[in-house]
Structures are given as C-alpha cells and as structure tokens.
Amino acid sequence: MSTVDTAFAPVSFTETALKELIKLKDQQEIADDFGLRVGVEGGGCSGMSYLLGFDQKKDGDQEFIINGIKVFMNKAHQMYLLGMQVDWQDGLNSRGFTFSNPNAESTCGCGTSFSV
C-alpha cells in the first residue's frame, strides 16, 4: 500500500487534537512503525462506533500522513468517515476526542456512536 498525501486524506484533525495525539504517542512510547488507526465498527447505541487508537498497518489499510502523523484507515471505512474532523476537548464538562462527521444522520449523547 502506498502513502497518500494529506490533501487527499478523508479525515482531518484540529490543532488541539494533533497536540494531544503527539503527547499520547510520546507518553506511551509508541514505536514508529505504529500509526493512528481511524475507523468504524458495528455497535454502540446508534449502530456504529468510531475507532481511534495506535495500531500497526493491516491488509486493506490505506496510509495517510496528516500533519506529520501516520494514519491508517481501512479503505471500506472511508465512505463513513469522508470529511470527518477529529477534535480534542479538555473542558470541565467534557474531556476527550470528539468527532464531527458530516455523514452521520444521528449521533448518540456520548458522541462516539453514530448512524448513517
């Protein structure tokens, strides 16, 4: 599989999300052959849940370099995630990654589950 330029990446990250991802990678001493896996899986209260975590590249993955971060995404997941923006919230009411997905018809209250 080849690496695809950021301009063609199906997802984007806010500046705060990028800073948090870099911090997590450094704190957990994640090896350079790992990348950030962004994807979906069945489940959650709305039918599909987001995947976000460091992982090794698997068959069927496409690799992107987004603002210096290696991102792995299964090609089949791209249709659900195209145009999605990942953000990091560090407030009193919420703390964690949030997903703004233009493809989601509905989302659950926790923001990590959606339906299309």
> What does pTM read for this prediction?
0.81
Structural domains for the chain = 11-100 (2.60.300.12)
8 A C-beta contact, residue 42 and residue 116: no
pLDDT: which is higher, 9 or 59: 59
Q: Which positions ≥6 away from 45 have C-beta within 8 Å? A: 108, 109, 110, 113
pLDDT tens digits for range 50-81: 899 999 999 989 999 998 899 999 998 888 89
